[in-house]
Amino acid sequence: MSGFPANEARRRAIFPLQALNFFVADIQAGIGPFLGVFLLAHGWHNSLIGVVIGIGGLAGMVATAPAGALIDDSSRKRLYVIVPSICLVLACALILFSQSFILVSSSQIVSAIAGAAIGPAVSGMTLGIVHQSGFNRQMGINQAFNHAGNMVGAGLSGLLGWRFGMAGVVWLAALFGVLSIISVALIPAAAIDDQIARGARQAQGQGHAISGYRVLLESKPLLVLAAALCLFHLGNAAMLPLYGMAVVTREHVDAPSFVAMTIVVAQGTMILAALFAMRLGERRGLWIVLLISFVALPVRGIIAAFLIVRWGVYPVQFLDGIGAGLQSVAVPALVARMLNGTGRINVGQGAIMTVQGMGAALSPAIGGWMSQELGYGATFIVLGCFALVSVVLWVGFRAPISAAAAMLAEK
């Protein structure tokens, strides 16, 4: 335990928490955005690339809810960042030695399971440090740092990938992994209130009875949120790797640098979107923040279908940045509000990530197959249309969702 009071520990935790969000972004992404063009250059077909990425997504989907449960029950939340960071870097490095289907699939599984623990762990630590009253604002700041880390990491990955190949990308991930471990180690253990971090009632402290897991299924707003996000990610996850492959194939551009540019544009937009989500959520509520994010995907799909050119990356990835940036703040904040008082917030965060992972895992396989059979243009339009159903669900259940999001002060 730290030698200074809890309030002082909380103050000292903010800077390393923000640094952690910056550095962990690159290792969570790993070589994922570069994997498609890397395997394409080694003779893989689109459909097989989609399958192997989907395998990793499925592994992450299965692991996220159990990881959230472990984090809820753990008083050593920092370890759930340190150990996965090491595993992620080693898994990325494996692909350099062999591009066999089994090894690449194994690497994606390890990466996905490790990444599944980091998200709920960082969210739980943040809630335990700033409590419910400061969670929405701090998540906006966290995500701004996270997207900035992704943008810097992607830019450096593109430069190192152009100069040294995929090995440069892996070495950068290793460096960011070490800096992530240092950052989380600087967060004082006394700064994290484990009861608040799991969503137990602050007034009742350690004696508060924790709800059963059934509470997740009894929350209609949480179920609607899960369904809408699943459909969104079913259309969204495949769009960036497919768009990168489409432009690289048609324009014959340098693959690593182009993929890096797609990420830099999106992540730069996400920084602004995360800060905007924080402000808009405080003034107009979180419901409208999610609605804007859902609407962005169909528009992005149409633009991607008709602008398969190098400069098309700017409008396509700008819209990706809007959708992902808004959700990165609004989704954790909504789950924390919906489940406040149950003691199951991190399980809920993991469950939502699981459902998102279901859509994201199926998306590359569906997108890879459609692009091979129908072409890239038609595929982008179909993928964008999945989010239209999300919009219908979100508008149809506005009243219970808005009520649940406004219950923070009552719990």
Nearest CA to 255 out of 308, 310, 218 is that of 310
User: Is residue 206 assigned to a domain?
Assistant: no
pLDDT at 207: 47
Residue 317 in contact with residue 24, Cβ under 8 Å? no
User: What phi-psi label fits residue 277: left (phi over 0), alpha (psi between -120 and 50 degrees) or beta?
Assistant: alpha
Structure letter (DSSP) for residue 340: T
Residue 201 belongs to some domain of the structure = no
Determine the straight-line distance between the first and last CA of the chain, rounded to whole angstroms: 29
Q: What is the DSSP letter of 87?
A: H
- Residue 330 is predicted with a pLDDT of 93
Q: Is residue 316 part of a domain?
A: yes
pLDDT at residue 254 in the model:
63
Model confidence, pTM: 0.77
In a domain, 203, yes or no: no
Q: Compute CA distances 354 → 60, 104, 146, whole Å.
A: 7, 22, 20
- Residue 110 sits in a domain of what CATH number? 1.20.1250.20
55: which residues sit within 8 A by CB, 6+ positions away?
105, 108, 109, 361
Residue 205 covered by a domain: no
**Residues 146/22, Cβ–Cβ less than 8 Å:** yes
**Total domains in the fold of the chain:** 1
d(CA 84, CA 134): 27
Token pair 């008083």 is found at: 75
190-199 pLDDT tens trace: 888 888 888 7
Give the three-class secondary structure for 203.
coil
Tens digits of per-residue pLDDT, 235-286?
Answer: 998 887 788 777 777 765 666 666 667 777 877 888 999 999 999 988 888 9
> Residue 260 domain-assigned?
yes
User: Are 242 and 235 within 8 A, CB to CB?
Assistant: no
Site of tokens 């150990």? 83
Which domain does 325 fall in, by range?
6-196+215-410
Residues of the chain with pLDDT under 50: 1-2, 4, 203-207, 408-411
Q: Is the residue at 204 inside a domain?
A: no
